[in-house]
């Protein structure tokens, strides 16, 4: 192998090599960024759907709601049920009453990404039935029950937003509330939630006659299919979604996310390949005489290939190494998210991607280099 020679050639044009490495790093960090953000989002959706296992969410969407509008998105601001229907639903047999409740949902602050959980989500819920919404999640501080009309339970993210602990006062829509408890860290639907009593929420929002949805929990898991069948028969106009159905419709959104991230990755690879190819083609032009000399003194084609491949690979791999700190910096500074569990695996995957970039980029210059004749060594002037 002629890797040592390749390193020396790169060193000889280190200014250009640095620019190349930086350009590749920017491309690879694009892949890391897109993948980390999208797969973190994906995990969040999956975890919150998992939190709804064993529950049925009953909503009534307006006629003109586009197909899949609710996909992966539990909160639907357009859903509306009248109180009589809600009460009738809650009277169905075989329910775990404690874990079933009507809810009124209203976004208080928008999310930076479209079609995702609002940054702050107001959840009106019947006091004593908080677990209908909170499910398996535990308290980080205080109690997860609403003791009076002007008390609130905050998700961890919401608590951070208000900088509030149990006992603190917060103001929602002009009304003061006392924080009763704070939830442990959880998916965004819970993390961003602010739970207050249902009637208080209805009064504040001017929606005394309606709720957004009803969350039903079967007393026995085996009763779920029966409950669903009953809902379908008695309330054909309502949408009753279990987490399996939500999961299925979320699949559409997730596959869109996947194709988006694939498109970004493909662009990053394509541009990376072109950048390195240009640089290595130029390098081979400059090395013609030396490559000719190597051929004249007995270097096989594969050695010339390995020389060119090494030049491409060293630059693409160094680019991938540099991409991680760039991605972390951008995520920290621009987006402010520091909980990217998928950053490291994505980066490791990027190393493989960089290897692919190097191999693809070396094909054209290697083909040119391999065809350099030993007599090129003797052409001077």
Partner 1 sequence: MNPPIIETKDVWKIYGSNGVAVEAVRGIDLAVQAGEFCALVGPSGSGKSSLLHLLGAMDTPSRGEVIFAGRLLAQLSDAQRTDLRAREIGFIFQTFNLLPMLTVWENVEIALRLGGVPLAERKQRASALLAQVGLQERARHLPSSLSGGERQRVAIARALANRPRLLLADEPTGNLDSQNGTDIMKMLRVIAEGGQTVVMVTHDFRAASYADRVILLRDGRLRGETHLEGAPDMQQTVERLFQLGL
Binding residues (CB under 8 A) for partner 1: these are 2, 4-5, 8-9, 11-12, 289-290, 293-301, 303, 374-375, 377-378, 380
Output 47 or 288, the one with its CB closest to partner 1.
288
Q: Smallest distance from the beta carbon of 5 to partner 1, in angstroms?
A: 7
The C-alpha angle with vertex 108 and arms to 102 and 113, in degrees rounded to 5, equals 105
Output 1 or 136, the one with its CB closest to partner 1.
1
Integer Cα distance of 229 and 234 in angstroms:
9
Output 4 or 115, the one with its CB closest to partner 1.
4
Q: Smallest distance from the beta carbon of 300 to partner 1, in angstroms?
A: 5
The token pair at 286 is 């400059």
Output 8 or 332, the one with its CB closest to partner 1.
8
Helix axes 14-51, 243-286, angle to 10 degrees: 170
Q: What are the angstrom distances between the C-alpha of 123 and each of 4, 11, 86, 280, 342?
A: 64, 61, 16, 59, 30
DSSP tag of 171: E
Output 221 or 378, the one with its CB closest to partner 1.
378
Q: Smallest distance from the beta carbon of 295 to partner 1, in angstroms?
A: 7
Cα four-point dihedral sign 160, 165, 169, 175 = positive
SS3 string, 276-344, reads HHHHHHHHHHHCHHHHHHHHHCCCCHHHHHHHHHHHHHHHHHHHHHHHHHHHHHHHHHHHCCCCCCCHH
Backbone angles phi, psi at 373, to 5 degrees: -85, 145
Q: Smallest distance from the beta carbon of 368 to partner 1, in angstroms?
A: 17
Q: What are the angstrom distances between the C-alpha of 361 and each of 16, 275, 364, 369?
A: 16, 8, 7, 13
Output 299 or 317, the one with its CB closest to partner 1.
299
Q: Smallest distance from the beta carbon of 298 to partner 1, in angstroms?
A: 2
Output 207 or 289, the one with its CB closest to partner 1.
289
């Amino acid at each position: 192998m002629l890797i040592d020679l390749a390193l020396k050639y790169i060193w000889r044009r280190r200014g250009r090599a640095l620019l190349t490495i930086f350009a590749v790093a920017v491309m690879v960090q694009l892949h890391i960024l897109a993948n980390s953000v999208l797969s973190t989002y994906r995990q969040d959706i999956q975890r919150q759907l998992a939190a709804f296992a064993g529950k049925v969410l009953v909503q009534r969407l307006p006629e003109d709601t586009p197909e899949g509008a609710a996909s992966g998105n539990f909160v639907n601001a357009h859903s509306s049920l009248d109180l009589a229907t809600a009460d009738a639903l809650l009277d169905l047999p075989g329910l775990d009453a404690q874990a079933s409740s009507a809810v009124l949902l209203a976004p208080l602050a928008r999310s930076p990404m479209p079609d995702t959980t609002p940054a702050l989500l107001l959840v009106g819920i019947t006091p004593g039935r908080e677990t209908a919404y909170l499910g398996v999640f535990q308290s980080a501080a205080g109690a997860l029950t609403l003791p009076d009309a002007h008390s609130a339970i905050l998700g961890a993210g919401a608590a951070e937003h208000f900088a509030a602990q149990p006992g603190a006062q917060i103001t929602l829509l002009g009304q003061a509330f006392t924080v009763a408890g704070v939830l442990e860290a959880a998916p965004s639907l819970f993390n961003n939630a602010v739970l207050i009593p249902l009637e208080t929420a209805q009064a504040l929002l001017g929606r005394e006659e309606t709720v957004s949805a009803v969350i039903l929990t079967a007393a026995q898991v085996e009763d779920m299919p029966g409950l669903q069948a009953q809902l379908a028969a008695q309330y054909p106009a309502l949408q009753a979604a279990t987490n399996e159905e939500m999961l299925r419709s979320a699949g559409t959104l997730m596959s869109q996310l996947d194709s988006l991230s694939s498109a970004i990755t493909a662009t990053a690879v394509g541009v990376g390949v072109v950048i390195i190819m240009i640089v290595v083609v130029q390098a081979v032009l400059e090395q013609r005489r030396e490559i000719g000399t190597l051929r004249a003194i007995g270097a096989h084609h594969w050695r010339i290939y390995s020389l060119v491949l090494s030049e491409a690979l060293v630059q693409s791999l160094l680019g991938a190494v540099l991409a991680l700190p760039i991605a972390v910096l951008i995520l920290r500074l621009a987006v402010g998210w520091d909980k990217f569990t998928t950053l490291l695996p994505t980066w490791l995957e990027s190393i493989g991607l960089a290897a692919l970039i190097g191999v693809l980029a070396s094909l054209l210059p290697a083909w040119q280099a391999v065809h350099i004749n030993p007599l090129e060594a003797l052409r001077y002037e």
